[in-house]
Amino acid sequence: MRPTESLTVFTQQIGRGLRIADGKSHCVIIDLIGNYRNANLKMRVFTEDGQLPPSITSTTLDLPPTCAIQLDLAVINLLDEMQRKRSPRKQQLVEAFFELKTDLGYRPTYLEYHLKARADSRAVKQEFGSYIGLLAYAKELNDVELDTFDTYRQWIQEVNGTRMTKSYKMIVLQYMLSRGSANWLDAITAEEAAPYFYRYLTEKEYRMRTDLADKQSKGLRSYDEGRMATLIAKMPMEKWSASSKGLISYENGVFSIHVEASREQGEILYGWMEEVCAYRLHVYFERKGLRIG
């Protein structure tokens, strides 16, 4: 019973303890891990490939059928903390994804990752360009999804990265998505978007207080389609078109997204855009310090 920092020595000690002897039925190894650094690395001896799982517990280690390991809860928490501190940020984000996926029982959406994962979702864009980029890196995409991601990477990154001083861009995109996976890429006018745009901003008080609060927009709290359409045409349609590097255009009153997709890839892209919209709108209002409800 003593702490052993060296993985090699620790492995040798286990081997000595497991030597067969007359009258010896089992071997109990007691190791005090709390008083030295890198205790988590020693757990690699209990894995088949030498790679530690995201969370080290008695059930995530690879043990022979006749062996068992018991870890105090405080030890498990300590090992988890050591894992997070040693992992580069990119790996931490991926590990947080798999932890949440295990907890939920399915692949979490971008917003669920933001709300429930033990990671800062803002780092996802910085490290992977998008949440879909994280999924690709983590090998969570099937072949069709991966091909869709490679084909539409520029558009995905545009929607994830476009600057939002107001919520307007994502509301317009969400309106387009509301028409369904078969029609969301069809061009629209500001007049067509106006009722949805108004309803979205006025159905929650915190949204009105944020984005219908300045002199220009405050008067739009009472519905006026013409004035609402004028606002939408200028911001976001004209502004997003100007900054999108050709992915979006606004000409002769028509707002178009220049993305062409097959039915199969279009449905995949549609689902991803729904996730991005939900995430970016939530985070936008959250960043404003408002209660989301």
Is residue 282 within 8 Å of residue 111, measured between CB atoms?
yes
Estimate the crossing angle of helix 168-177 against helix 263-287, to 10 degrees. Answer: 150
> What average pLDDT score do residues 19-43 get?
72
pLDDT (tens digit, 9 = 90+) per residue, 105-142?
999 999 999 999 999 999 999 999 999 999 999 999 99
* Cα–Cα nearest to 131, from 105, 153, 116, 151: 153
pLDDT (tens digit, 9 = 90+) per residue, 188-208?
999 999 999 999 999 999 999
Residue 255's H or E segment, with its range, is strand 254-257
CB atoms within 10 A of CB 274: 19
Distance from C-alpha of 4 to C-alpha of 291, rounded to nearest angstrom: 50
Residue 266's H or E segment, with its range, is helix 263-287
Locate the domains of the chain by residue range: 7-86, 89-140, 158-287
From the options 1.10.238, 3.40.50, 1.10.10, 1.10.287, give the CATH code of 158-287: 1.10.10
Q: In the prediction, which pLDDT does 1 show?
A: 46
pTM: 0.71
Residues in the chain: 293
* Cα–Cα nearest to 83, from 54, 116, 46: 54
